[in-house]
């Protein structure tokens, strides 16, 4: 009998957090209902050995090179046998009846193609996980580092949906890639994640493609998890992270928006990298 859900976790150098995540799964999961697949992106931190010793029931794929989030998830999706696929970050902890609630909701809502749960911070406060699709104005302001300086600016506020009701189920544009429950039929209709995204925007692209096919994307707060957030990529240097973000953003706009928007954002990139480098120097000076 195939499992009800396949949970795919892409790991990169967060072995301790991955252990905690897996424990939260197996505290509640029946092995016949939940299949877990871990794809390790060349962590070099004994993740594979830990899995063999502590979680032999996990199906694991160890890559010799970090190929990025989308590529690694696609490997897991290809071998998954569940009718539901959950893409889950390793720096997460599921609530104790998470899967029971997921199965109940998905059985009662057959038209929900992609579902995002309520995501909480470590202190149990709500983590913003729903946004509208990005437009060039909001992304230009983000590139210019205005997100934290003027978050109430109308273009940013519209993109970030700062008044979103995280206590109610809603149809949304996109959900955070840290936790996505996806019907297998969704992949059959729109394909896998775009592996040309190394990190960032792959879930935005996936949700955009789903919407273009008329599929429903739901935010459902009745099941929840905690997300430490950014644990893997906090380890990357500031400028390197910004370059990854910029490449992904430009790919998304090249695929889904007119060329003139791509040109405008491209003109802002040199200023963005200068601001990022200056901020990196500031952080280094403060740490010394």
49 lies in a domain? yes
Binning pLDDT at 50, 70 and 90, where does residue 31 land? low
- Residue that wins the pLDDT comparison between 235 and 93: 93
pLDDT (tens digit per residue) in 3-20? 999 999 999 999 999 999
pLDDT (tens digit per residue) in 145-157? 998 788 789 999 9
44 lies in a domain? yes
Range of the domain at 117: 5-133+164-234
pLDDT (tens digit per residue) in 66-117? 999 999 999 999 999 999 999 999 999 999 999 999 999 999 999 999 999 9
Cβ-defined contacts of 16-21 (< 8 Å, 24+)? 17/90, 17/91, 17/228, 17/231, 18/47, 18/50, 18/90, 19/50, 19/54, 20/93, 21/88, 21/89, 21/90, 21/91, 21/92, 21/93, 21/94
Instruction: Report the CATH number at residue 203.
Output: 3.90.550.10
pLDDT (tens digit per residue) in 197-219? 999 999 999 999 999 999 999 99
Its pTM stands at: 0.94
Binning pLDDT at 50, 70 and 90, where does residue 237 land? low
- Residue that wins the pLDDT comparison between 237 and 114: 114
Instruction: Decide if pLDDT at 192 tops 60.
Output: yes
222 lies in a domain? yes
Binning pLDDT at 50, 70 and 90, where does residue 247 land? very high
146 lies in a domain? no
205 lies in a domain? yes
Distances (CA, A) of 53 to 35, 236, 245: 18, 29, 36
Tally of domains within the chain: 1
216 lies in a domain? yes
140 lies in a domain? no
Reduced to 3 states (helix: H, G, I; strand: E, B; else coil), residue 279 is helix
189 lies in a domain? yes
């Amino acid at each position: 009998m195939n499992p009800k859900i396949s949970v795919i976790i892409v790991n990169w150098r967060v072995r301790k957090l991955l252990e905690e995540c897996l424990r939260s799964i197996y505290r509640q999961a029946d092995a016949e209902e939940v299949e877990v697949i871990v794809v390790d992106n060349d962590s070099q931190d004994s993740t594979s050995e830990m899995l063999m010793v502590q979680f032999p029931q996990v199906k694991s794929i160890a890559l010799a090179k970090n190929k990025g989030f989308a590529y690694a998830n696609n490997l897991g999706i290809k071998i998954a046998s569940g009718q539901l696929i959950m893409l889950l970050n390793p720096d997460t902890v599921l609530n104790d009846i998470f899967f029971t609630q997921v199965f109940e909701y998905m059985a009662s809502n057959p038209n929900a193609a992609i579902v995002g749960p309520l995501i909480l911070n470590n202190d149990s406060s709500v983590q913003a996980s729903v946004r509208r699709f990005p437009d060039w104005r909001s992304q230009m302001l983000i590139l210019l580092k205005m997100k934290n300086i003027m978050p109430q600016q109308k273009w940013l506020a519209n993109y970030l949906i700062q008044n979103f009701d995280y206590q109610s189920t809603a149809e949304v544009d996109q959900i955070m890639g840290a936790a996505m429950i996806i019907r297998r039929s969704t992949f059959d209709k729109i394909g896998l994640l775009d592996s040309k995204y190394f990190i960032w925007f792959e879930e935005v692209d996936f949700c955009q493609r789903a919407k273009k096919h008329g599929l429903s994307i739901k935010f459902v707060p009745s099941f929840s998890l905690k997300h430490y957030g950014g644990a893997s990529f906090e380890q990357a240097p500031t400028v390197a992270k910004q370059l990854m973000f910029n490449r992904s953003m430009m790919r998304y706009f090249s695929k889904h928006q007119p060329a003139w928007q791509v040109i405008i954002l491209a003109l802002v990139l040199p200023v963005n990298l200068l601001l990022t480098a200056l901020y990196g120097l500031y952080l280094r000076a403060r740490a010394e």
